[in-house]
Structure 1
Amino acid sequence: MFFDTHCHIHMPQFANDQAEVLERMKSAQVTKAVVVATEEAEIAPVLTLARENDGLYAAFAVSPQDEALPDLTEEEIVLRVQDPKMVAVGETGLDYHYCHEPLDWQRNRFATHIRAANLANKPLIIHSREAACDTLDILKANGAQNCGFVLHCFCGDWDFAKKALDLGGYLSFSGIVTFRSALDIQEVARKAPDDRIFIETDSPYLAPVPLRGRRNEPSFVPHVAQFLAQLRGKNIEDIAALTMQNANRFFRI
C-alpha cells in the first residue's frame, strides 16, 4: 500500500474525471494521500474530498509563488487548519526560480506559516526551489524543528538534504527523481535514512518516467517507489511499507 504525501487532485485539471482518478488510485493500492490547498478558495473543495473519501487528508497554506494572494496572520492560519482532516500547514516556503527580488513578502509569509504551524501543533510541508540557504535559515529562526517539516518534491543536493535532516526534517521524492538528469536528487535518494523519506506525485505535475509528459495523478506514485527501490537496493514492498510508516508518523495519522 502506498501513501501519496502531496497531490492537488482538487485542481481544474481533474474536473472531468476526478471520480475515475480516485478509482485508479485505489486500484494501484494508493490507500492514502494528502491533498494540498494553496489558497483560501481551495480549502472547501480539498476538505470535501478529504471528508468524503477514506484515506484522503488535507493541508493548507498560502502559496509562496503568488504575491497577489492576500496574506494571513498566524492566528488566521491556525483557524483554517483546525479541522481534524487538516494534517499539515503547507505548502509554504521559498521559490527563487519563478519569483525574483525583492522577496521580503515571500520570506515574511514563510516565517508566519512556520509560527502558525507551531501554534497549531501541525507539521509543515515546505516548498524550496533554488533557495536552500534562506530556507534553512528561516526554518531554524522560527523553530520549525519543533513542529516538524518535510521538504516536498525535493530537488536539491546532498549538502542541502543533510542540513535539513540534521534539523529533524524529512525528504519527499516526486517523479523528478526518475528523470535522467536528476543525478543530485538520485544521490540524495540513495543516501537519505530509511526513516526520513516519503513518496509523492505533486500531481497534476511532474509525472514520473515512464509516464513523463502526461498529467500526473496519485495512481502513478508506485513508479516513484519502484525507482527508489532500485536506487536503494530494496524491493518495492519495502519502500511502500517504510514510506507509509514514515508518513503516518509525520502526519500523526
Structure 2
Amino acid sequence: MFIDSHCHLDRLELDKLGMSLEQVIAAAEKRQIEHLLCVSVSLAEFAAMADLVQPFTGVSISCGEHPLHQEGTVDELQLLKLASAERVVAVGETGLDYFYSPESKATQQDAFVKHISVARQLTKPLIIHTRDARTDTIALLKSHQAENAGGVLHCFTESYEMAKAALDLGFYISISGIMTFRNAAELRDVVKKLPLDRLLIETDAPYLAPVPHRGKTNQPAYVTDVAAAIAEVKAVSITELASATTENFYRLFPLAQRRRLVA
C-alpha cells in the first residue's frame, strides 16, 4: 500500500480532471493508496478545506499557512486553536521561500518561528516548504528546537548537504514527481543517498504531475508513479519502497489512523 503524504485536495481542478472528488479518491484507492494527507496553505481557507475532506475517513489534514500565501503576520493564537483540532495531524505547511518572494524574508521568518512554536506546544510534526533558503531554514529549525516536534521537508529539491542537516535533526525528506523530470538529475543523485527509513513520497497535487502525466493536473493516484521512479533510482523493489514509506508516514504522523480512504 502507498500513501500520498502531501496533496491539496481543496485545490484540485476537478473540471480539468473531469472527475468529482469522490472519483479522485476512488482512483487513488484503485492504485492501492490507503491514506492521504491534505495540507493546508491558508488559515483563512482551513475550515473550508477541513469540511471538504470530512467524509473521507482515510484523509488526514494539517493546519498552517504557506510562506507564499501570507498576507501579513500569522496570528499564533489562531494557529494554535485551529491546529489543536483532533483530525489535524501536522502543523504547516510553513517554511521559507526566497525564490519567489525574497522581499518578504522577515515576514516569512516570523511566521515560520510561530509555526515551530505551535508544533512544539501540540507535539505535532511540521510540514516544511523550503526553496532557496537553505541556511536560514536549518538555522531556524535549530535555534527554535524544532527537533522536539519533528517533521518533514516536503517536495525536496535542495542539496544533499541540506537534507543531511535535516536528517541529523530527526526530520524526514519527502520526494515529489519533480524527480521524474528530465532536468532533475541532481535531485535523483540526492535521492540515491537518502536513507530509506527517512523517506516519504507525495504528489503535491494538483501541482507537479510526474512523468508520464506531465502537463496534466496532478492527483493522488499518481503517487505510485513517484514511488516507481524512486524505487528504480534506489535499486529496490516497489514493494519495499511502498512498505518503507508507509511505515515512515505513520511513524512521523502518529495521529493519522490506518483505515480505508472511504468508510
Normalising to structure 1: TM-score of the pair?
0.95
Q: Tell me, yes or no, if the aligned pair for 1:229 and 1:235 is still in contact at 8 Å.
A: yes
Q: Tell me, yes or no, if the aligned pair for 2:206 and 2:219 is still in contact at 8 Å.
A: yes
Q: Secondary structure at the match of 2:214?
A: coil
Number of residue pairs matched by the alignment: 252
Amino acid at match of 2:99: H
How far is the alpha carbon of 1:120 from its aligned partner? 1.1
Distance 1:30 1:44 in 2: 25
Residue in 2 that maps onto 1:96? 98
Residue in 2 that maps onto 1:217? 219
Distance 2:87 2:72 in 1: 24
Amino acid at match of 1:88: A
Distance 1:143 1:107 in 2: 15
Residue in 2 that maps onto 1:192? 194
Distance 1:2 1:233 in 2: 18
Distance 1:146 1:170 in 2: 14
Normalising to structure 2: TM-score of the pair?
0.92
Q: Secondary structure at the match of 2:215?
A: coil
Residue in 2 that maps onto 1:121? 123
Distance 1:103 1:70 in 2: 12
Residue in 1 that maps onto 2:7? 7
Distance 2:44 2:75 in 1: 13
Deviations 1:90-114 (A, max 9, x none): 1000001110225211111111100
Distance 1:48 1:67 in 2: 22
Q: Tell me, yes or no, if the aligned pair for 2:231 and 2:238 is still in contact at 8 Å.
A: yes
Q: Secondary structure at the match of 1:53?
A: coil
Residue in 2 that maps onto 1:36? 39
Q: Tell me, yes or no, if the aligned pair for 2:72 and 2:107 is still in contact at 8 Å.
A: no
Q: Tell me, yes or no, if the aligned pair for 1:153 and 1:174 is still in contact at 8 Å.
A: yes
2:64 maps to 1:61: yes
Distance 1:115 1:209 in 2: 38
Identity across the alignment (%): 39
2:145 to 143, 146, 151: 143
How far is the alpha carbon of 1:204 from its aligned partner? 0.2
Distance 2:104 2:87 in 1: 36
How far is the alpha carbon of 1:69 from its aligned partner? 4.9
Amino acid at match of 1:13: E
Q: Any unmatched runs of 5+ in structure 2?
A: 257-263
Q: Secondary structure at the match of 1:156?
A: coil
Q: Tell me, yes or no, if the aligned pair for 1:50 and 1:85 is still in contact at 8 Å.
A: no
Distance 2:72 2:245 in 1: 33
RMSD, aligned CA: 1.4
Distance 1:69 1:14 in 2: 30
Q: Secondary structure at the match of 1:52?
A: coil
Q: Tell me, yes or no, if the aligned pair for 2:119 and 2:125 is still in contact at 8 Å.
A: yes
Q: Any unmatched runs of 5+ in structure 1?
A: none
Segments of 4+ moved more than 4 angstroms: none
Aligned pairs for 1:157-236 (under 5 A) are 157-236=159-238
